[in-house]
Amino acid sequence: VISEKILHTTCSPDNETRCIEILHDFTDFPPLNRFTLTVTMKAREYLHSQLSHPFLRPARGETRFTDIKILVGEDCYPAHRIILAAHSMFFSKLFDHNPRLEEYKLQSDRISSDDFKVLKYYMYIGSLPDRSYVDLSLLKAAHYLELNHFVRYCSYVLMDTLGVENVVDICIASENMELKDLKIAAVEFIAEKIEVIVNMEKWMSLKSHPNLIKEVALRVCNSQKETGP
């Protein structure tokens, strides 16, 4: 946690909407910051009523008023096209080109059923998952569905959890997905731990990416110049 802020606000019937807007704005802060919103009981009741809206029930497995079935592997997820399209450029473009689409199967080699559950909940509720749920698989799934805010969140979390066991895979994936900040962080980590990583089996997979090898080598050289003989 970088910082923590507590916002106290008094809510009355004429400013309940403003309280909801404040809460929404808080969810868009950089993911490494944690914020606590304290509101009156009346505002909390209003929030609860919004989260109980019928349109949010598919996030909990209900199917009322759904108009699209998303297939992931062997699983079927009823949903609302308007909700998916509002958050995902992938679904927005899909439904624009197929306005009468009633069922669509996602590529199982690009997204798992478990990852889609997390992303669907995010699209309906707007709540980012706990950092413990974030891994490279979830990042790739979010990138596939073009959930840009979610991709940024996963990138920040993965930057903070780089290790010798996962950094090569993250480096290659960030290159393929054109995630510049994550790639820079991964390259710098590899350069810093080069004596360990170069002897690992995963190093072999990096050799098929000459541009990344070049960036790592350049970073190692620069580090040696900075530290001197």
With a CB cutoff of 8 Å and minimum separation 6, the contacts of 30 are: 156
Full set of structural domains in the chain with CATH:
1-52 (no CATH), 59-147 (3.30.710.10), 162-229 (1.25.40.420)
| Least confident window among 29-38, 136-145, 181-190 | 29-38
pLDDT digits (tens, 9 = 90+) for 202-214: 888 888 899 999 9
Answer whether 167's CB lies under 8 Å from 39's CB: no
pLDDT at 39: 41
pTM for the model stands at 0.71
Q: Is the pLDDT of residue 97 over 90?
A: yes
Mean of pLDDT values over 161-183? 94
- Which residue would you say has higher pLDDT here, 224 or 116? 116
Residue with tokens 């003989």: 229
- Which residue would you say has higher pLDDT here, 11 or 105? 105
pLDDT at 223: 75
Answer whether 154's CB lies under 8 Å from 142's CB: yes
- Which residue would you say has higher pLDDT here, 170 or 37? 170
Which letter does DSSP use for residue 79 in this model?
Answer: E
pLDDT at 110: 94
Averaged pLDDT score across all residues of the chain: 78
